[in-house]
Structure 1
Amino acid sequence: MLNYKISKKWLILVTLALISALLLAIASSASSIYLYCSSTNNIKADAAIVLGAAVWGEEPSPVFRERINHAINLYKNGFVKTIIFTGGVGESNEPPEAIVGRNYALAQQVKAADILTETQSRTTHQNLTNALEVAKAHQLNKFLIVSDPLHMKRAVLMARNLGMDAHSSPTPTTRYRSFHSQMEFLSRETYFYFVYLVFKI
């Protein structure tokens, strides 16, 4: 009976230790994601890669529009010469995200020759993988990754693991402004960050 009590106590202690370690890892990752979001590289690159987001019919959603506008500002201020829009079809009755981004940029006087697209991806990893193939075809080697601030750590890690010379360029404004929306986004990003570390997807 004594050995059983000791074993049970030991099991509880080990379980508590594992839970504590997991919670610490989650808190540490969430903190690093939050702090990383302020990391901006004001450097010149060959292209800005705009990670896809939802579209509303023929128009970009507010989140996507923030990303597109930031890429256009990088282009017009001479930080990049090319913009690569990524993203396929979210809903069957909508155009690909990349095409919506391209049309929006054209309306803002970005030259058609300076816009590239990939229209097959559905995830961040696919965005970057497909964008890299497009970039290779046009001899583009250095990139600014454009997305929401809390998305940057995972996105840049993915890009660099693909062998890209990638640098963080978060949107200076974000649609996730309230504490609740930021915490919701941070929780989701922390989860997907762990998923990527484990499964590389």
Structure 2
Amino acid sequence: MKLLVSKKIRRYLLFLVMITVAVVEVPIIAVGQLTKPVPSDTIIVLGAKLIGKQPSTMLRLRLDEAVRLYTAGYARAIIVSGAQGADEIATEASVMHDYLVAKGIPAAKILLEDQSYNTHQNLLNSKEIMRERGFRSAVIVSNASHIRRSLVLARQLGIEASGSAAPMADNAYLTAKQYAREGAAMLSLFVLNQQ
């Protein structure tokens, strides 16, 4: 009898986990695939880990997407956002700036925001730069797994924004890890908003 109850409880818990994953992860995946950028005043590129003085794969993919958008005329300026992490030798913003300049973006068109350590701070501090420059709208660039939460936070902060999802790294483990991380972050954001 005890074994039967235990099996039922395990099945029930597994069902709850599957439903939760579906409810949380499906919108993250959908927004990452379906979001489209809208011509705006600026592009905001959210920071990510550095490898020495080089952007990580995820960050490079974001920066390449920003180059594509800028070249296609989606915005007249780019805000690069990210501080120096404890394990980094430079600010993410400075490395992003140098990468974009090397790709042909004029240095004068790149605005640095180098005080933020998380997505909320990235957007809050970028909003202040937008206010100072008279920018009203932005295209937020991040990887597909991160774009939904970025847009939710932008809306909460009153930023008029569309999104442009950079691809994920060509690494199944890293991709799964990023989606799991974002699922947990979205759940946390939902819980905080209910308080």
Name the TM-score, length of structure 2 as normaliser. 0.86
**Structure 2 residue aligned with 1:159:** 154
Contact 2:37 2:139 in 1 (8 A): no
**Structure 2 residue aligned with 1:120:** 115
| Residue 134 (structure 2) pairs with residue 139 (structure 1) | yes
Paired with 1:146 and 1:93, the residues of 2 have a C-alpha distance of: 22
Fraction of identical pairs, as percent? 30
Over alpha carbons, which structure has the higher Rg?
1
**Paired positions, count:** 187
| 1:133-192 alpha-carbon deviations (Å, 9 max, x no partner) | 111110111111100001111110001110011111001x321x3443322221111001
Deviation for aligned residue 1:105: 0.9
The structure-2 alpha-carbon separation of the partners of 1:181 and 1:136, relative to structure 1 and needing over 3 Å to count, comes to same
**Structure 1 residue aligned with 2:190:** 197
The structure-2 alpha-carbon separation of the partners of 1:93 and 1:33, relative to structure 1 and needing over 3 Å to count, comes to closer
| Residue 77 (structure 2) pairs with residue 82 (structure 1) | yes
Contact 1:87 1:98 in 2 (8 A): yes
| Residue 175 (structure 2) pairs with residue 182 (structure 1) | yes
Q: Which runs of 5+ in 2 are unaligned?
A: none
| 1:113-149 alpha-carbon deviations (Å, 9 max, x no partner) | 2111111111111111111111111011111110000
**2:25 corresponds to which of 20, 24, 30:** 30
Paired with 1:113 and 1:137, the residues of 2 have a C-alpha distance of: 16
Contact 1:39 1:168 in 2 (8 A): no
Q: Secondary structure of the residue that 2:33 maps to in structure 1?
A: coil
Q: Which runs of 5+ in 1 are unaligned?
A: 1-8
Paired with 2:88 and 2:147, the residues of 1 have a C-alpha distance of: 29
Paired with 1:131 and 1:104, the residues of 2 have a C-alpha distance of: 19
Q: Secondary structure of the residue that 2:65 maps to in structure 1?
A: helix
The structure-2 alpha-carbon separation of the partners of 1:55 and 1:181, relative to structure 1 and needing over 3 Å to count, comes to closer
CA RMSD of aligned residues (A): 2.3
Name the TM-score, length of structure 1 as normaliser. 0.84
**Structure 1 residue aligned with 2:106:** 111
Which residue identity does 2:29 align to in structure 1? Answer: Y
Contact 1:129 1:162 in 2 (8 A): yes
**Structure 2 residue aligned with 1:6:** none
